[in-house]
Structure 1
């Protein structure tokens, strides 16, 4: 089966799309627009949405901490507050996904090489099928051991890394935002 014909229980995870994060990232308006469109499609189908926010670097309720406009979490959507790069470490994300019987996570957001990649790989290691949205994550330039990569290079490297990621009996995919399909969530009577 491909992404367009499978019907697992999915969730959309939006990582660190906060004012204080995206101001240093490349293409923030394009990425935000793609995420907003996916959020709208997820809402239309009843797909659970998880908003992950960094509280290690930003004080709660400060302007840098807030989710960047026009993204706006709604009541009833999940808020995950983290103090590590890993959205699963010390948070209730894993338990909340299990409570919703989620089997497949769709991941997008900010800090491609840190928080987004870590969340995606950790989800895969925990047994979830994972889709990384290749054109809906962003970051800024990075320097390591004297070598500098532009934000676009970091994004391309993250996508290349994830394209080769494999775990037993799991689907790992790398799709564009427009290719991500959310199916209506069945309502239990």
Structure 2
């Protein structure tokens, strides 16, 4: 791992769980419930939470831009607003993670094939250890060059990609939401 990314803490990163995104995704209720459970468990242990929202397609504060109910950030949690698929490009995400001594990211959210995959792949290439929550990301059907894929096929392909991801001296995992364990953050006076 890069010296700069030798952080010891874990953070939960939630990508694009917005009304306008989930409207077209498969299994939104199940994914929302799993993300809500991850958030609750992260909060219980003091794990930092980063809420990433797309502003490329949605006007800030519009109904489509807002996070889906019941997901609501607390004032102490980080808000990252992005204009690209990549949550690191043009945002303060990386600097904030470094400042908080974070080296491990648990990633979930929406747009499996675009924003989730891009953020997780970029994090891996930057030296972070990454866990993708296999049953807590979602997307909709897509057609490219005449080939149609269902949302479930895209999710399965995204999971297959991360199941075999390999960089030297880094840990990558693909876990179900109920397999993710957040450790209590020690408070030093």
TM-score where L is the length of structure 2: 0.95
**Structure 1 residue 102 displacement after superposition:** 0.4
Name the counterpart of 2:145. Answer: 145
Report SS of the residue matched to 2:59.
Answer: coil
Q: Distance in 1 between matches of 2:177 and 2:98?
A: 24
Displacement over 4 Å in runs of 4+: none
Q: CA RMSD in A?
A: 0.5
Partner secondary structure for residue 115 of structure 1: helix
| Superposition deviation, residue 134 in structure 1 | 0.1
Partner secondary structure for residue 156 of structure 2: helix
SS at 2:102 equivalent = coil
- Structure 2 residue 135 is the aligned partner of structure 1 residue 109: no
1:186 and 1:62 map into 2 onto residues whose CA distance is: 38
Instruction: Map Cα deviations across residues 3-30 of structure 1 (whole Å, 9 max, x no partner).
Output: xxxxx41000000000000010000000
5 Å matches for 1:1-189? Answer: 8-189=8-189
1:136 aligned counterpart, secondary structure: strand
Gaps of 5+ in 2: 1-7
Tell me, in whole angstroms, the C-alpha distance in 1 between the residues paired with 2:167 and 2:61: 38
Length, aligned pairs only: 182
In 2, Cα distance between equivalents of 1:133 and 1:182: 13
**Deviation digits for residues 75-129 of structure 1 (CA, Å, limit 9, x no counterpart):** 0100000000000000000001011100100000000000000000000111100
Superposed displacement of residue 188, structure 1 = 2.3
Alpha-carbon separation, structure 2, partners of 1:187 and 1:148: 50
User: Normalising to structure 1: TM-score of the pair?
Assistant: 0.95
**Which structure 1 segments of 5+ residues have no match?**
1-7
Residue number in structure 1 paired with 2:3: none
**1:103 alignment partner, SS class:** strand
Q: Deviations over 1:35-78 (max 9, x none)?
A: 00000000000000000000000000000000000111110100
